[in-house]
Structure 1
């Protein structure tokens, strides 16, 4: 073999090695970023929640990490059409429960019945083993589906009358036209003062794997939700809406090998009327988005590709304060049982 042939072979080998190296580097550069570790044979949720490395500032308080049970809201004349049920004698909670209809809805509106506890003198959802001196039935006047209509109110009358008949009680129904008008008024106010904010975090360069998103979000207090691709930041009240929700591609989260899924964006959302303003939910939304963008090499956008500036975020915060004030004045304060029912 001549020296020229040897030189060509050596050059060819170097060329092949360089091409392979470049391809490996390119693949590594374009691969989705992974969590710090992967555990084979362990579910994605367990893997995602395993990291405990702290990140400052911590967005969730100790109270938020240990939710308290929520006291269920009572029937409220502010948002419900109510009919009293006068009883001839004391009735048991078992009797009221047996008289309830199979479904607790009237059309698209919640239907509920309460009893006046003989011992405490307070209205409550009927419980077996207790006795009640009176009852009342109610239907909610409005929700995010819209106001109550004539057909729904008529169905409410039928269901409430059936409960009263089973309990040998007498009913007095409010005027349908008045209650439907109240429902429309409530719906108009709620529609004008509803707000659901979402920020979209977009990757600047390398995409993210589901585990990578989980790991960084968990450090700020997010926990895995029931639906794949969803995480939530729980609040202080058990059973209430989460303060924030983080959502990314469900198909990527359910992939056979999620580590190979490439995600270039995800959203963080706040349902404003559902969360008490004292929890500073918008500040949490803003801080969480900013911290995740910094840690994951991303940018915070409005969902349309526009990167949000601090001045624009300040303007949103100011608008929200006016919204909170308006809700307070209508006795539908954000996070209150009434607001959570109307804005649902």
Structure 2
């Protein structure tokens, strides 16, 4: 073998080694980022995590309508962050970082004339709570609107859902005037009357129904107000370069206090109080979350959502959304975008924050403060 032939063989071998190394480097660079082995994958932890009991609407897109918010999502209820928490490998509590006040205890709940049509029901004699419960209709809805019956507890001097062992003389039946499916209509009001009358007959009581046309008119006015003040903000965090694996997303989200929700591909930032809706929601491709080999699944977008009316302003949910978005963006090499993939500059956030403060004030003036029991019922 001549020196020339030997040189060609060596050169070919070197080229082959370079091509293989380059392909391996490219594959590694483009592979979905995985969680670090030193940190436990939240999805594999033995401790069960439960999402707060809230069946919120699915938030998608980045469309602007209604109340004038810009740079995020705003959807109606008609018919139908600069500072970043440190990453040192342990959980960061944004509530401590922001020094948030604790919301005051809820003072209004149950049926309320502000958002319900209410019919007083007076029994001829005291009725046991067990008998009242047995007399309730099998469903608690009139059409698409929640229906409820309450009894007045003389000892506690308050209205409550009938309780076994208690006795009641006065009851009230109510149907919600509006929700995100629209205003109460004549057919739904008639169904409410039938259900309340059936309950009254079963306990030998007499109901006093409000005027249907008046209540339907109130429902339309309330629905109009709700449609104009129902804000749902949605932002998309998009990978700049390499995609993310579901475990990588969960690991970084867990550092900020987000926990796995009941739906695959959904994580939530829990509220401070028990039983309250989550402050923020993070979602990504559910199919990737349910994949047989999730670490090989590629996630390029995650969605951060805030249902404004469901969270009390004292928890500063928009500030926390900005904190989470900024922290995840830095840690995961992502960029905050609208639904079309257009990056959102930091200057777009301040006008949104100002508009939200005005929205909170308008809800407060109507006694439907964001995060209150009445607001959570109306905007659901």
TM-score band (shorter)?
over 0.9
Distance in 1 between residues matched to 2:247 and 2:298, nearest whole Å: 11
Q: Please name the residue that 1:29 is paired with.
A: 29
Do 1:83 and 1:137's aligned partners in 2 also have CA atoms closer than 8 Å? yes
Q: Please name the residue that 2:45 is paired with.
A: 46
1:259-307 per-position Cα deviation (integer Å, ceiling 9, x unaligned): 0111111110000001000110110011111111011111111222222
Question: Secondary structure at the residue paired with 1:221?
Answer: coil
Distance in 2 between residues matched to 1:279 and 1:193, nearest whole Å: 19
Distance in 1 between residues matched to 2:47 and 2:163, nearest whole Å: 41
Q: Please name the residue that 1:183 is paired with.
A: 219
1:24-58 per-position Cα deviation (integer Å, ceiling 9, x unaligned): 00000000111002899x993429999992265x3
Structure 2: runs of 5+ lacking an equivalent: 50-86
Moved more, 142-151 or 3-12: 3-12
1:213-250 per-position Cα deviation (integer Å, ceiling 9, x unaligned): 10111111100001010000010222221000000000
Residue number among 276, 279, 295 corresponding to 1:243 in the alignment: 279
Q: Please name the residue that 2:338 is paired with.
A: 302
In the TM superposition, what is the alpha-carbon distance from 1:16 to its structure 2 partner?
A: 1.5
Distance in 1 between residues matched to 2:124 and 2:344, nearest whole Å: 64
Distance in 1 between residues matched to 2:104 and 2:34, nearest whole Å: 35
In the TM superposition, what is the alpha-carbon distance from 1:11 to its structure 2 partner?
A: 1.8
Structure 1: runs of 5+ lacking an equivalent: none
Q: Please name the residue that 1:59 is paired with.
A: 94
Moved more, 127-136 or 227-236: 127-136
Answering whether residue 90 of structure 2 is matched by residue 91 of structure 1, we say no
Do 1:68 and 1:236's aligned partners in 2 also have CA atoms closer than 8 Å? no
Distance in 1 between residues matched to 2:312 and 2:330, nearest whole Å: 28
Moved more, 72-81 or 168-177: 72-81
Q: Please name the residue that 1:162 is paired with.
A: 198
Counterparts in 2 of 1:65-214, with a 5 A limit?
73-214=109-250
Distance in 2 between residues matched to 1:173 and 1:47, nearest whole Å: 53
Do 2:257 and 2:269's aligned partners in 1 also have CA atoms closer than 8 Å? yes
Distance in 1 between residues matched to 2:269 and 2:287, nearest whole Å: 22
Do 1:38 and 1:47's aligned partners in 2 also have CA atoms closer than 8 Å? no
Answering whether residue 308 of structure 2 is matched by residue 272 of structure 1, we say yes
Do 1:230 and 1:245's aligned partners in 2 also have CA atoms closer than 8 Å? yes
Distance in 1 between residues matched to 2:106 and 2:170, nearest whole Å: 25
Do 2:237 and 2:337's aligned partners in 1 also have CA atoms closer than 8 Å? yes
Q: Please name the residue that 1:328 is paired with.
A: 364
Do 1:90 and 1:133's aligned partners in 2 also have CA atoms closer than 8 Å? yes
Do 1:282 and 1:317's aligned partners in 2 also have CA atoms closer than 8 Å? yes
Q: Which has the higher contact order (CA 8 A, sep 6+)?
A: 2
Do 2:42 and 2:250's aligned partners in 1 also have CA atoms closer than 8 Å? no
In the TM superposition, what is the alpha-carbon distance from 1:12 to its structure 2 partner?
A: 1.9
Do 1:49 and 1:214's aligned partners in 2 also have CA atoms closer than 8 Å? no
Count of residues in Structure 1 that have an aligned counterpart in Structure 2: 341
Distance in 2 between residues matched to 1:83 and 1:270, nearest whole Å: 35
1:141-165 per-position Cα deviation (integer Å, ceiling 9, x unaligned): 0000000000000000000000001
Answering whether residue 314 of structure 2 is matched by residue 315 of structure 1, we say no
4+ residue runs over 4 A deviation: 47-52, 61-64, 67-72
Do 2:268 and 2:281's aligned partners in 1 also have CA atoms closer than 8 Å? yes
